[in-house]
Amino acid sequence: MKQHRRFRTIRATVVLMVIAGVAILIAPSASASAPTATATLTGSVGAGGTSGSFTFSITPSSRTLAAYTVTAPAGWQISSVGSPTPSGTATISGRTISVSGASVSGSAFGTVTFSATACVAQSYTWSYTATDSQGRAYAHPSTLTASVDGPSCSLALLNQPTDAKQNTQITANPFDAGVQNLQVQLLNGNGVALTTYGVTVTFGLASGFDENGQQLASGTLTVDPETTDVNGVATFVDRLSIAEKNEPQFTSYSLAPSTTASLGEQAAPAITGTQSNGFDIWETQCNTTGGCPVSIRGSNDLYTSPAAGDLSASQLPGGPSGDLPNLTCQGQIPIFADGLFVSQFTGSGPVFLKSHVTRADMKASANNGQAHVQWCIGLETTAPWVNNGGSFTAEDMNGALDGGILYVGIAPACPNANPQNFAPCVTRQFGDGNGGSYTEGYVPGDPPRRT
């Protein structure tokens, strides 16, 4: 009797295993018949930021299509949607149109029309979903594309950046961090202000050349992005500054605007604009009605302006690997071999310069024991040298680039009468009582100098 019961138990186990195997084989055939919903999208945008008309159509392979969505990619804005046909209700949420209450049987079409825009000219891939009357999802194998065909939107500077000091706000008013903040406006592809498409704007440093053919400098730009207002304008009221001063004779900085987000989405394609005019970054600056002083080199070089205007100055790296390495005068052994001194005065008249070379400066230089200090100055024209009788040579400052010639010479002694009319020239030199010396004289508005 025990053997008989054991045999029946084994047979039952075998039967269960066979049934399980049959279930596994049946499952794949059920999923092979999943229905699909194919779709098309027609229409396009002309010029970026202008409205385009679109039609989305969808048809199910079987069952009854009850609801569907169509979604635009980042950077698109859907402005309006029509009534779906043959039935249903359409709503807009962000970049998605949702249609509910549709009743579309196999081989029939559900259709919805809408208006939309995007800014950057290119082709975009859209997506869609669909469900039947029981909430079951359709497969959606169709690839949908729509494009912006015309010119892209652009960013236009409403004002231009001007000279500023290191790490201070760059504005449209020279050296003034409090007024005329830089402004950038979003334009559609037709060049018209786009006020209904919000973007976040930033700046980068442009490369290449400015509008005057000057080589653009590289540096460390600090900028807080700004969002456009109801007029499509981004105003840079927060941080916008550059850390490094540039050599102003043959280089400048330029700002290039671009977007970091469109309609609040960073994934949207970037919108760009034309780079700004060139401007310079200085170490120090002042502006008064006259007699305005600025100093560099620890207050040992003191510039004083003769009239109203911006007076600015910087000490830059010199020497063979520094700025303007060809600015040298025959017979001069520079005290500051690794220093180049530049200044600029936007008013009229020459600038008075008092330069103090200390005993420590003398001892640290290669010309230790030199009887007197000389100013080696580069000018854009020969006229000042002809006027004061100084000797000069033409020196190429930027190699293969155009417009790199400076007329370089040692500043001669000024005449006693009206010395300011003969800049660059030296009025007097005298000791400081401690092994160093002072040199005083006049320089034109913006010459680079070696001492």
What is the CATH classification number for the domain harbouring 243?
2.60.40.340
Angle at alpha carbon of residue 313, lines to 307 and 315, rounded to 5°:
160
Residue with tokens 């209904």: 196
What is the pLDDT, as a whole number, of residue 22? 39
Same domain, 441 and 294: yes
Mean pLDDT in residue range 409-421: 97
Mean pLDDT in residue range 121-127: 98
Same domain, 206 and 343: no
Same domain, 290 and 387: yes
Same domain, 134 and 167: no
CA atoms within 13 A on the CB side of 372: 13
Better-predicted residue by pLDDT, 197 or 323: 197
CA 216 to chain centre: 13
Q: Is the pLDDT of residue 14 over 60?
A: no
What is the pLDDT, as a whole number, of residue 399? 65
What is the pLDDT, as a whole number, of residue 319? 80
Confidence tier at 9 by pLDDT (50, 70, 90): very low
Mean pLDDT in residue range 123-127: 98
Q: Is residue 385 part of a domain?
A: yes
Confidence tier at 178 by pLDDT (50, 70, 90): low
Residue with tokens 């009229």: 348
What is the pLDDT, as a whole number, of residue 37? 97
CA 140 to chain centre: 40
Q: Is the pLDDT of residue 67 over 60?
A: yes
Q: Is residue 330 part of a domain?
A: yes
Mean pLDDT in residue range 256-270: 98
What is the pLDDT, as a whole number, of residue 398? 72
Q: Is residue 163 part of a domain?
A: yes
Same domain, 210 and 316: no
Mean pLDDT in residue range 64-77: 98
Strands 301-304 and 293-296: antiparallel
Q: Is residue 8 part of a domain?
A: no
Same domain, 197 and 292: no
What is the pLDDT, as a whole number, of residue 371? 54
CA distances from 237 to 129, 169, 261, 271 (A): 44, 9, 19, 21
Domain boundary pick from 114, 147, 180? 147
What is the pLDDT, as a whole number, of residue 402? 65
Q: Is the pLDDT of residue 82 over 60?
A: yes
Element holding 205 (H helix, E strand): strand 199-205
What is the pLDDT, as a whole number, of residue 448? 82
What is the pLDDT, as a whole number, of residue 446? 81
What is the pLDDT, as a whole number, of residue 330? 87
What is the pLDDT, as a whole number, of residue 337? 85
For residue 204, which of 182, 178, 229, 222 has the smallest C-alpha distance? 222
Same domain, 107 and 220: no
Q: Is the pLDDT of residue 425 over 80?
A: yes
Domain boundaries, position 180: 153-281
Q: Is residue 408 part of a domain?
A: yes
CA distances from 364 to 79, 220, 299, 334, 358 (A): 72, 31, 18, 11, 10
Domain boundary pick from 96, 121, 147? 147
Q: Is the pLDDT of residue 359 over 50?
A: yes
Q: Is residue 265 part of a domain?
A: yes
CATH at 59: 2.60.40.680
Q: What percent of the chain has pLDDT over 90?
A: 78
Q: Is residue 85 part of a domain?
A: yes
Give 229-295 as a 3 state SS string. CCCCEEECCCCEEECCCCCCCCEEECEEEEEEEECCECCCCCCEECCCCCECEECEEEEECCCCEEE
Question: Using CA atoms, how far apart are residues 226 and 236, in angstroms rounded to an integer?
Answer: 6
What is the pLDDT, as a whole number, of residue 367? 61
| 383 contact partners, CB below 8 Å, separation of at least 6 | none
Confidence tier at 320 by pLDDT (50, 70, 90): confident
DSSP 198: -
Same domain, 228 and 367: no
Most confident of 1-15, 227-241, 352-366: 227-241
In tens, the pLDDT along 302-311 reads 999 998 889 9
Q: Is residue 4 part of a domain?
A: no
Q: What is the Cα Rg of the chain in Å?
A: 37
Q: What percent of the chain has pLDDT over 70?
A: 89
Give 3-42 as a 3 state SS string. HHHHHHHHHHHHHHHHHHHHHHHHHHHHHCCCCEEEEEEE
Same domain, 99 and 111: yes
Same domain, 125 and 55: yes
For residue 253, which of 211, 213, 206, 220 has the smallest C-alpha distance? 206
Domain boundary pick from 251, 281, 311? 281
What is the pLDDT, as a whole number, of residue 289? 66
Q: Kindly report the average pLDDT of the chain as a whole number.
A: 90
Question: Using CA atoms, how far apart are residues 260 and 199, in angstroms rounded to an integer?
Answer: 8
Same domain, 106 and 164: no
Number of domains present in the structure of the chain: 3
Residue type at 160? Q
Same domain, 53 and 64: yes
For residue 91, which of 75, 102, 105 has the smallest C-alpha distance? 102
Q: Would you say the pTM of this structure is higher than 0.85?
A: yes
Question: Using CA atoms, how far apart are residues 360 and 362, in angstroms rounded to an integer?
Answer: 5
